[in-house]
Amino acid sequence: MAATKPPSCSTRLRSPATTAACFLPASLLLFLLLLLLRRPPMGSFPPTIPGGSVSSRRAELYGRMARDLDERGAAFLDGGETSQSLTLSELFDTRDGAVVPMLKAANPPVRANVLYLDPEFASVISKAVKEVFLPYFNQAIWFQNMSIYHFSMFHTSHHLEPIVATEDEIEAEVDAVKRVTDDVCPLKIILDQVVLTSTGVLLGLWQVESGTDPADIRSRLREALPRAPQKQLYDPVMLHTSLARILGHPKLPQEGNAQSLDHVKFFHDLVAQVNSKIRGFQATVKELWFVEEYDVLALALNGKMKVRRLQFGCKEGQGNGKI
């Protein structure tokens, strides 16, 4: 990180560090550089402190996630990392003007329990995201397939702690999950906000109005699946959907403006536009998917996977409310 010459603010901004150098005092800059060097993957925000209601812990977590872009800058313009510690440039290729995911076998396959968002709801969100982002990133963005919008809950095997299982053992896991979903009530959820992380992932962050809380679902799954990895990938109160991954620099109508473009402000403006369209959007979640992902990030990249769809057993209106 030893800079050979001081970054110039008049040339096109190439890195978040350069951006920071133009606007921040030296002590703050040093702090920011240290944060950038750590460049933690998405989902590695410090856990919320237990205590307080689940919804206030969730609000506090989302507030911190919304500040991530300010605090770490647009690190993804230099090749940000995903939650699986892969850089986005390792995941995608541009061929004949189209973005193509480069699928890699996950060995052993990842086994994920995710809540599923019906396309009836996902299509509204997907449309708003595309309307705002497509004009600026036509070949430098990957949109989550709206047929498989999902909320990651709990893994019985993941890349950090693979738990190899036989077919019988996997069937036993599915049975255990089924016993959990039999008692789960449909969740009425509301889109709290859309945020863009410093790694370039556009996320929808949701609050829960009624139904079985995700924190509760996760703890029931933990109890039912004792062999699952001790370390799970997400904060227990988090309820999020990935909406898109930004892969490169925006295209701007007037090239002249690119010289002085403040990337962080530009991205905030786009995110604000999405929020003005869909913040407060309500949806109902009625099923959990047990997914074997045979490719890395199969749910995100339309990879190879095997899905078991499990309907919640509890009827609507019987929700046990917030915990």
Ligand X SMILES: *[C@@H]1O[C@H](CO)[C@@H](O)[C@H](O)[C@H]1NC(C)=O
Q: Residue holding tokens 């396309």? A: 119
Pick between residue 150 and residue 220 the one whose CB is nearest to ligand X. 150
Pick between residue 207 and residue 302 the one whose CB is nearest to ligand X. 302
Tell me how far, at minimum, the Cβ of 305 lies from ligand X, in Å.
8
Pick between residue 147 and residue 259 the one whose CB is nearest to ligand X. 147
Tell me how far, at minimum, the Cβ of 123 lies from ligand X, in Å.
12
Output DSSP code: residue 212. S
Distance, CA of 22 to CA of 117 (rounded, Å): 42
Residue 258, C-beta contacts closer than 8 angstroms, at least 6 positions apart: 12, 252
Kindly list the residues in this chain that would bind ligand X in the complex (CB under 6 A): 145, 147-148, 302
> Among the residues of the chain, which ranges form H helices?
16-23, 26-38, 54-72, 88-91, 119-133, 167-181, 214-224, 255-258, 263-278, 298-301
Compute the CA torsion angle 10, 11, 15, 20 (nearest 10 deg).
0
Tell me how far, at minimum, the Cβ of 146 lies from ligand X, in Å.
8
Pick between residue 284 and residue 302 the one whose CB is nearest to ligand X. 302
User: What single letter denotes the amino acid at residue 119?
Assistant: P
Tell me how far, at minimum, the Cβ of 287 lies from ligand X, in Å.
15
Q: Are 127 and 281 in contact (CB under 8 A)?
A: no
Tell me how far, at minimum, the Cβ of 302 lies from ligand X, in Å.
4
Pick between residue 147 and residue 311 the one whose CB is nearest to ligand X. 147
